[in-house]
Amino acid sequence: MEKRRIVSGMRPTGRIHFGHLHGALLNWKELQDDYRCFYFIADWHALTSEYARPDIIRQSTYDIIIDWISVGLDPERCTFFVQSEIKEHAELHLLLSMITPLPWLERNPTYKEQLKELTQRDVYTYGFLGYPVLQAADILMYKANGVPVGEDQAPHVELTREIARRFNNLYGKVFPEPDTLLTPTAKILGTDRRKMSKSYNNAIFLTDGDEEVDRKVMQMITDPQRKTKKDPGDPAICNVFSFHEIYTDAHTVSGIDRQCRSAEIGCVECKRIMARSLKTALEPVRAKRGELEADMKRVREIVEQGNERARAIARNTMEEVRAAIKI
């Protein structure tokens, strides 16, 4: 029996940080054994907010593919492709837009939130309102059975299901309704304790060098109640500690937990240990990235092959879609 399919994408608007790693990529990696995975660079989606500086999009595309492979996504098992290389996505987006009621888009919570949040860019555009329809096209094109997403994106998968249902009712059954595969990790906090994000300038990137990691970790805001080393700290609310839990060995972590609560260890010392764990974890990623950067021909081949595989499926789907709509 053919494996169930999943589809997920990332916007090429810069490099990968620890939020992306724990909020998406490590989950993608888990799934690659059990599913037929399609992971794509959502460059048309990047345009919704970055239409005024498209250079960053082109540049980020290969950077991100390299980061994906460096953290263990396997181009043999997964299909990596670039959205704008598969023009069928644009056609399906257009057709789905005809049957998507405007209120479905206007009530979308992410839309409302981002209109408020993205104050640096004017996103009061037709494309931005409609980007969940483009996402529906991305997902349905591959007849995905599941979509791995963070909680913030779950309403979009729901919308995709509604659009699929409406299409199937109007024209006959073409699309399965995909399940939401919620990413287990809670949000990763940045150095300032807000959600880690490029736009907040609080991110630690997989490409950061040792000095950069040291500098950022030293800046990290810890338990805000702990003013001096003499005050006992609370690891449960400390951002540095949450990274220890992921990257430092269990024995050391339980020691730090105890010594923080009893004010035996200070934040500077604690951060130094955490920075060391983080740098150790980044070493193999950096080595793998170095190999890939030295062989860009291979990277381009991987993307080409992925595009070919994706295109073949997209062509088939669009034939079925056109036949169903009789156009």
Q: Where do contacts with ligand ATP occur on this chain (CB under 6 A)?
A: 10-11, 13, 19-20, 22-24, 149-150, 152, 187-188, 195-199
For the CB of residue 55, give the shortest distance to ligand ATP in the complex, in Å. 16
For the CB of residue 91, give the shortest distance to ligand ATP in the complex, in Å. 24
Bridge partner residues of 161 (DSSP): none
- Sign of the Cα torsion 292, 138, 201, 30 reads negative
Closer of 199 and 305 to ligand ATP (Cβ): 199
Cα–Cα distance between 170 and 178 in angstroms, integer?
Answer: 18
Residue with tokens 């950069």: 212
Bridge partner residues of 9 (DSSP): 40
- Sign of the Cα torsion 47, 50, 53, 55 reads negative
For the CB of residue 45, give the shortest distance to ligand ATP in the complex, in Å. 9
Closer of 24 and 321 to ligand ATP (Cβ): 24
176 vs 66, 180, 255, 325, CA distance in Å? 32, 13, 50, 17
151 vs 148, 177, 290, CA distance in Å? 10, 18, 33
Closer of 172 and 184 to ligand ATP (Cβ): 184
Closer of 121 and 198 to ligand ATP (Cβ): 198
SS3 231: coil
For the CB of residue 320, give the shortest distance to ligand ATP in the complex, in Å. 29
Closer of 201 and 262 to ligand ATP (Cβ): 201
| Cβ contact 18:157 at 8 Å | no
For the CB of residue 325, give the shortest distance to ligand ATP in the complex, in Å. 31
Closer of 22 and 271 to ligand ATP (Cβ): 22
| Cβ contact 88:317 at 8 Å | yes
For the CB of residue 54, give the shortest distance to ligand ATP in the complex, in Å. 15
For the CB of residue 22, give the shortest distance to ligand ATP in the complex, in Å. 6
Closer of 35 and 167 to ligand ATP (Cβ): 35
How wide is the angle at C-alpha 51 spanned by C-alphas 49 and 54, nearest 5°? 115
| Terminal C-alpha separation, the chain | 32
- Cα R_g (the chain), whole angstroms: 22
Bridge partner residues of 189 (DSSP): 195
For the CB of residue 323, give the shortest distance to ligand ATP in the complex, in Å. 34
Closer of 131 and 167 to ligand ATP (Cβ): 131
Compute φ and ψ for 195, nearest 5 degrees.
Answer: -55, 135
Q: Which residue is nearest to ligand ATP (CB)?
A: 23
